[in-house]
Each structure stands twice: as structure tokens, then as C-alpha cells.
Copies of this chain bind each other. A is one copy, B any other.
Amino acid sequence: MTPDGIERRSDCPISFALDVFGDRWTLLVVRDLALKGKRTYSELLASDEGIATNILADRLKRLEELGIVVKRRHPDDGRQRLYGLTDAGLDLLPVLVDLIVWSATHDPQSAAPAAFVEEARRDRDGLLARLRGER
């Protein structure tokens, strides 16, 4: 797994992770696949944050090259593509949950669902297993 078109800055694991998804959009795409049940390009394009189509296409391509996202043909419509997370993508669920808990704690305007945050604090492992199982 090598980030495409980005110079690797060091072998530090945090630096590597930021080379892969250290931008404002990549983890939103992962969020939509991991937590919002989105599967198609048009579903991913319809986000509250208003992702631009060229950014979405670029991020999906990179995530596919990195082995985080997999693209499949729709079983009922050969022209449609379905996107999903690989195991490496599902392994980002802990990061997503931590970001949610951090923002819920420190952003007064946060829309983080209280029950989700409470479960993440009380039974993080259980929550992660459930989220992974639901994929």
C-alpha cells in the first residue's frame, strides 16, 4: 500500500496514515461507506458537506488503489458500480469512532448521536464489533 502521487515523508505510522487520509475529504467518504450505508457514487455525492464530484472521484480512485475501498458491478444493473470497504477500510472504524467521541466532547454544536457516543464510551469493543458485523 503506497499513497499514489504523494511522497512518503517517513516510516512513522502516524505520518503514513496522514499520507493516506490526511485531508478534509477522504475520511468522509470512508464514513459514508462505514456508517451511513452508502454504496453508489450518487449516494456518496449527496453528502451534507457538499463534496465536489471531481474530489469524490479522485478519493475513490485513491482509496481503491490503496486497497481500502473495493468497487463491484451491481448484480442487477451492469452499468452501476457499488463501492464498499475492504478489511483495511473496516479497520478504520476505530479511528472514526474516536473522532466522533472527540468532537462530541469538544464541539458544542456537534450532531453526534448521544446514544452512539455513550455506547462508544461504555463499550467501545462491543460497538466496534457491532459496526463491523453490520457491514
A binding-site residues for B, Cβ under 8 Å: 1, 8-19, 22-25, 27-28, 31, 48-50, 67, 88, 91-92, 94-96, 98-112
Give the distance in Å from the alpha carbon of A102 to the alpha carbon of B9 in the complex: 17
Q: Across the interface, do B94 and A106 meet the contact criterion of CB distance under 8 Å?
A: no
The answer, among B13, B107, B112, for a CB contact under 8 Å with A103, is B13
* Copies, count: 2
Q: Across the interface, do B27 and A107 meet the contact criterion of CB distance under 8 Å?
A: no
Q: Across the interface, do B88 and A12 meet the contact criterion of CB distance under 8 Å?
A: no
The answer, among B10, B31, B107, B110, for a CB contact under 8 Å with A111, is B10
Known: A103-B16, A107-B16. A9 touches B49 (CB 8 A): yes
Q: Across the interface, do B50 and A9 meet the contact criterion of CB distance under 8 Å?
A: yes
Q: Across the interface, do A111 and B11 meet the contact criterion of CB distance under 8 Å?
A: yes
Give the distance in Å from the alpha carbon of A103 to the alpha carbon of B16 in the complex: 7
Q: Across the interface, do B95 and A49 meet the contact criterion of CB distance under 8 Å?
A: no
The answer, among B22, B91, B109, for a CB contact under 8 Å with A105, is B91
Nearest Cβ on chain B to A128's Cβ, whole angstroms: 10
Nearest Cβ on chain B to A78's Cβ, whole angstroms: 32
The answer, among B10, B18, B107, for a CB contact under 8 Å with A13, is B107
